[in-house]
Amino acid sequence: MSELKRSLFGSRSRGRSSEDAVDEPIDESGEVDAVLDAENLETLDASDAPGRREKVRLGKRLLSKKNRKRRKRKFNLAVLPTLLTLGNAVCGMAAISVAMSDSLARQPEEKLFVAGVLIFIGMVFDALDGSAARLTGQESRFGGELDSLCDAITFGTAPAVIVWRISDVFPEKLSWTIGVLFTLCVLIRLARFNVETDDDDPHDGFEGLPSPAAAGTIAAFAIAMPDLASIATDPVYPEFAHIVAQYALLSAHYVIPFLAVVLAYLMTSRFQYPHVFQQLVSGRWSTHQFGQALFAIVGGFLLHWVALPIAFCYYAFGPPVRSLWGSKAASPEPATLDE
């Protein structure tokens, strides 16, 4: 009995702090009896059952309070990473609000542009919170779970709202279904990442398209639409540029919902994607990657915002195309009869 007392409530010589006190004090023997009899109440005599029930109630109350105090003492909130993570959620909520608002005196393209920019700002917060946690040694399970919840808002719900608002050529039920499918695949992607990623993971790459990249692809199209409208009407550009821009604006209403379906599939796939931000921070760039970065800079200088969807589509579809092309090239040709 004495060993059980020490294991449950600690040594008597340690004393008790004010945090572990309860409103109704009971002796240690009563506490131990309450715990031991918790599972045997049904076998007690009717005359003794009420007293035992009271002891069990008080014992459970004391143990529950001790456990709560212990959990509170162990939990420390990492302020800087948490603020960055919450900033991601704020950007996602703001993007949804702007995209859905009918009271703003703005054109629909301008509201979608602002919503896309807010998603990109959320991507910056999402990239910085993990780095801040690792640099300050404040990585925690709480931060990882909070990060996923905020990602579900910014990279799951906000892009679905953009899909709903940007396309008016499909039936409303079909557009709603596509947006819901995209959001559900983001949730599956985030849950799978949390389960399969270990604490010692180097974060050099991803299995499946990351949800920020999928959301960024849709946001990039929303950001590029005002520039396309300007190119389609600005006399500075040649005639063929006007035709291409007009065709792109008309086809965007069909392409973006279809693109959302493909991105939803890529998020749940097993294709390997590089962690661009991690490589950028660590400085581990190959000559090929450095050349790609130069092309992206030149393209951004020439095409302005129109370069964004091109760059994101290259990142999203590059690994699947290379993987499928490589597997096709590596597969042996069927042998002929003579062979």
pLDDT at 319 over 80: yes
- Distance in angstroms (rounded) separating the CA atoms of residues 120 and 36: 57
Tokens representing 61 are 């109350």
Q: What mean pLDDT do residues 249-272 have?
A: 92
- Arithmetic mean of pLDDT over the chain: 77
Classify the phi-psi angles of 15: left when phi > 0, otherwise alpha if psi is within -120 to 50, otherwise beta.
left
Domains in the chain with CATH codes: 2-74 (no CATH), 79-316 (1.20.120.1760)
Which amino acid is residue 225, in one-letter code?
M
Segment 106-140, tens digit of pLDDT: 788 889 999 999 999 999 999 898 888 878 777 88
Q: Check whether 178 has a pLDDT greater than 80.
A: yes
pTM of the model: 0.71
How many Å apart are CA 264 and CA 181, to the nearest integer?
Answer: 7
**For residues 128 and 224, is the Cβ–Cβ distance under 8 A?**
no
Interior/surface letters 154-191, b for 16+ CB within 10 angstroms, e for the rest: bbbbbbbbbbbbbbeebeeeebeebbebbbebbbebbe
Could you tell me the pLDDT band of residue 22, with boundaries at 50, 70 and 90? very low
Backbone dihedral angles phi then psi of residue 48, each to the nearest 5 degrees:
-95, -15
pLDDT over 90, % of the chain: 31
